[in-house]
A and B are shown apart, each in its own frame.
Chain A
Amino acid sequence: MAAAPDLTSEVRAAARLVADLPPAPAVWASGLRKRYGRRPAVDGVSLHVDRGEVMGLLGPNGAGKTTVIKMLLGLVRPDAGEVMLLGRTAGDPLARARVGYLPELFRYQPWLTAAEVLALHVRLSGARIPVQEQRACLEMVGLADRADDRVGSFSKGMQQRLGLAVALVARPEFVVLDEPTSALDPLGRVDVRDLVLSLKDRGVSVLLNSHLIGEVERVCDRVVILDQGRVAASGTLAELLGQREVRMHLTGVTPAAEARLATAGDVERSGDWFTVDLPAEDDDTVPDLVRDLTALWVRVHAVEPGRISLEERLLGILRAGNEETE
C-alpha cells in the first residue's frame, strides 16, 4: 500500500516528461528501398518533414519521387526501410487519420458529385466536419458553383482542384501534394502556391513534389533532391543555395584593384563586368569591397547582388551525379 503514492507520482512524472517532448515529425523515413523487377526504383532513401515545415521533393522523371511518396502513405510496400507517419508506424491505418493526399494520378468517382466525394472522404477519415466547412473547402479551390455536379463532367484541371479539396477537407496535420499543378493554368498555379503558404501559416506540414522549381523555391523551407532512386542532396534553401555572388560593372580597374577583388572570392571577368563568388553569408564583404575599389580610383557603375537559382543548383547536382555514374 505504501508504494502506491510513489507509483502515481512516477506515472505523473513520466506523463509530464512525455507531454513535454516535442511532437514527432510529420513523417520520418529511413533506408527505404523498392525494386520493380531487377530495376531499383528507390535505393536507400531517408528523409523527414518536421511539423509546420514545407518540404520540396525534386528530381528528374523516374527518380523515384512518387514511389517514395506512395511508400510513406502505405500504398506501396517497401522492400526495406521504416516509415513513421505523425508518430505512428506507417503500417497502422490510424497513422493516416490526419494526412491529406493529392495523388499524381488524380481520379475521383465520376458518378458522384463534388460535394459527395468530399463527404465520402470525410466519412472515411473518421473526422467530423460540418457540411458548411466542406462547402468552404470547395469554395477555396474555386469549385463552389460546381459542388452538385457529377465529377464525370469535370475537366482535368477541375478534377485536380477537387483533389486539393479532398486532401484538405479532413483538417490534416500533414499534406502530401504530388505534382499539384500539373493540370492547372498559370492562375491555378498561383492559387496552389498561396494555398501551400496558408497551410504553412497554420502550422500544417507539407510535402510538395513538383517539376516547377520556381514554385518549390518560393514556398519550401527545405528541399530533398532525388536522382536514380537516391538522395542526391538535401537541406534548407539557404544551405543548398548558400553560394552568393555579386556582379559589378567597373572601369579603370588597375592590377591593385584586381588583387583586391580576388581577396573577396573567385572572380570571373567578362569585359567590364566582374562576377565575384561570395562563399558565406557575410553582410560586410560587398560594402567593404566597394569602399576599397573607389579608394583605388576604380569607377563603379553598377553593383548587382546575385544568388544561384535552385534550378541551376539542381542541374549542377544532377550533372555531377551523372558524371560520377559514368
Chain B
Amino acid sequence: MTARTVLTIAGLTLREASRRRVLYALAGLTIALLTLSAWGFSRLAAESGFATLTSGQARLVASQLLNLVMFGMSLIAALGTAFLAGPTLAGEVESGISLAVLARPVRRSAVLFGKWLGLVVFGSGYVMIAGLAQCLVVRLTVDYWPPDPAAALALLAGQTIVLLTLGLLLSTVISPMASGVVAVGLFGATWVAGVVGGIGEALGNDGVARVGTISRILLPTDGLWRGAMHGFQDVSAFSQLGPERAAFPFISAAPLTFAYLTWAAVWVAMVWGLAALTFLRRDL
C-alpha cells in the first residue's frame, strides 16, 4: 500500500512539473544558457588568442569557464526545484487539494516521500541532461572534456536534492512562496560564505576560512558544488596555481571526502525526517 502511494504521488509530482510549464521555463532558460555559452566559448577560441596559450593554460581557462556556466545551471536547477518544492506541499494544503488526497487510505509520510522522490527525479534528471549538454558544448567549441563528468554531475544533482529537501521542510511550516524564497536565499548565502571562506584560506586567516567550513556543514549545497567543480576542472592545469587558488570562486581546491558525502546524506535524511514529523502533526 505504501509503495503504491509513493509511486503514485511521485508520478503525480512529475506530471505536475511537466504540465505546470515549469519544464518549459527550465528548458527555455537552459537552451538560452547553452546557446550563450556555446557562442562565448567559440568566440574565446577564435578571438582571444586562445590558440597562443599553452595547453595547460587553455585547459585552466576552459575549466574555469565551464565551472562558471555550470554554476548558472545549478542556479537554474536550484530556483526551479525550490519553487516547485514549496507549492507542491504547502500550496496543496492551503488550497485544500490535500484534504481529498489525505482522506484516502494513505500515510502522510508516504505522500511526502512520493513528493520528494518525484522532485528528486525531476531535479536530478534536469541537472544530468542539461549538465551533459553543457559538457558537450565545451567539447565541441574548445575541445575540453572534464576529467570526471559523471561524479561531477552526480554531485550537482546531490546539491539540487539538498536544496529541494530544504524547500520541502520549509513548505511544511511557512507559505509556499516564502519557502521558495528562503531556500534560494540560504543557497545564495551559503555560496557567498563559501567564497568568503576561500578568501580567508588564501589569506591564511583561519577565522574567515572557518565561515566557509561552517556554512558548508550547515547547508551542504556549497560543499557539494565545490566537489562538482573539482570533477569538471583539469587537475594538472590547476596545480600551476599557488595557495591563492582557494580564493578563486570557480576553482575547487580539493575533492570531497567520503565523510563529507556521508554528512550530506545524513543531512538530507535528517531534514526529510523533520519535514515528515512536521507534516504528520499538521492539522489540515
Genuine A/B complex: yes
Binding site for B on A (CB under 8 A): 70, 73-77, 93-97, 99, 101-103, 105-109, 111-112, 120-121, 123-126, 163, 166
How many residues does chain B have at the interface if contact means C-beta atoms less than 8 Å apart? Answer: 24
Q: Which of B99, B107, B283 has the most CB of A within 10 A?
A: B99
* Interfacial chain A residues near B103, Cβ < 8 Å: 73-75, 96, 99, 101, 103
A99, B104: Cα distance in complex, Å? 8
From B15, B19, B106, A124 is in contact (CB under 8 Å) with: B106
Which of these binds chain A: B4-12, B245-253, B261-269?
A: B4-12
Closest B residue to A72 by beta carbon equals B103
Name 14 A/B residue pairs within 8 A (Cβ), A-sorted. Answer: A70-B283, A75-B102, A77-B283, A93-B1, A94-B105, A95-B105, A96-B105, A108-B100, A111-B19, A112-B19, A121-B100, A124-B8, A124-B104, A126-B4
From A93, A105, A106, A109, B12 is in contact (CB under 8 Å) with: A109
* Given A93-B106, A95-B105, A123-B4, A76 and B100 contact (CB-CB distance below 8 Å): no
The A/B interface has a contact count, at CB < 8 Å, of 74
From A70, A93, A108, A111, B20 is in contact (CB under 8 Å) with: A111
B95 contacts partner chain A, Cβ-Cβ < 8 Å: yes
A123, B95: Cα distance in complex, Å? 22
Contact check, B281 vs A126: say whether CB atoms are below 8 A apart: no
Closest B residue to A73 by beta carbon equals B103
A97, B5: Cα distance in complex, Å? 13
Contact check, B105 vs A166: say whether CB atoms are below 8 A apart: no
* Given A94-B105, A97-B105, A124-B104, A108 and B283 contact (CB-CB distance below 8 Å): no
Contact check, B4 vs A103: say whether CB atoms are below 8 A apart: no
* Interfacial chain A residues near B19, Cβ < 8 Å: 111-112
A209, B84: Cα distance in complex, Å? 35
Contact check, A93 vs B283: say whether CB atoms are below 8 A apart: no
Closest B residue to A166 by beta carbon equals B100
A126, B1: Cα distance in complex, Å? 7
Contact check, B96 vs A103: say whether CB atoms are below 8 A apart: yes
A112, B16: Cα distance in complex, Å? 8
- Cβ proximity bits B60-79 to A, threshold 8 Å, 1 near / 0 not: 00000000000000000000
B254 contacts partner chain A, Cβ-Cβ < 8 Å: no
Contact check, A75 vs B5: say whether CB atoms are below 8 A apart: no
Contact check, B104 vs A96: say whether CB atoms are below 8 A apart: yes
A111, B102: Cα distance in complex, Å? 19
B110 to chain A, nearest CB (A): 9
The 6 closest A-B pairs by CB, nearest first: A105-B96, A111-B19, A124-B104, A103-B99, A101-B103, A107-B96
Contact check, B1 vs A76: say whether CB atoms are below 8 A apart: no
From A70, A96, A108, A166, B284 is in contact (CB under 8 Å) with: A70
Q: Give 17 A-B pairs besides A76-B283, A103-B103, A109-B12 with Cβ atoms closer than 8 angstroms.
A: A70-B284, A74-B102, A75-B283, A77-B283, A93-B105, A99-B103, A101-B99, A103-B96, A103-B99, A111-B20, A112-B19, A121-B100, A124-B5, A124-B105, A125-B104, A125-B105, A166-B100
A163, B96: Cα distance in complex, Å? 12
* Interfacial chain A residues near B4, Cβ < 8 Å: 123, 126
From A95, A97, A106, B100 is in contact (CB under 8 Å) with: A106
Interface residues of B in 94-130 (CB under 8 A from A): 95-97, 99-107
- Cβ proximity bits B269-282 to A, threshold 8 Å, 1 near / 0 not: 00000000000010
Closest A residue to B283 by beta carbon equals A76
Contact check, B16 vs A126: say whether CB atoms are below 8 A apart: no
A163, B103: Cα distance in complex, Å? 13
Contact check, B283 vs A163: say whether CB atoms are below 8 A apart: no
* Interfacial chain B residues near A74, Cβ < 8 Å: 102-103
* Interfacial chain B residues near A102, Cβ < 8 Å: 100
A117, B261: Cα distance in complex, Å? 40
* Given A94-B105, A95-B105, A126-B4, A108 and B97 contact (CB-CB distance below 8 Å): yes
Q: Which of A76, A97, A105 has the most CB of B within 10 A?
A: A105
* Interfacial chain B residues near A163, Cβ < 8 Å: 100
* Interfacial chain A residues near B20, Cβ < 8 Å: 111
Contact check, A105 vs B105: say whether CB atoms are below 8 A apart: no
From B96, B101, B107, A93 is in contact (CB under 8 Å) with: B107
* Interfacial chain B residues near A75, Cβ < 8 Å: 99, 102-103, 283-284
Closest A residue to B101 by beta carbon equals A124
B37 to chain A, nearest CB (A): 32
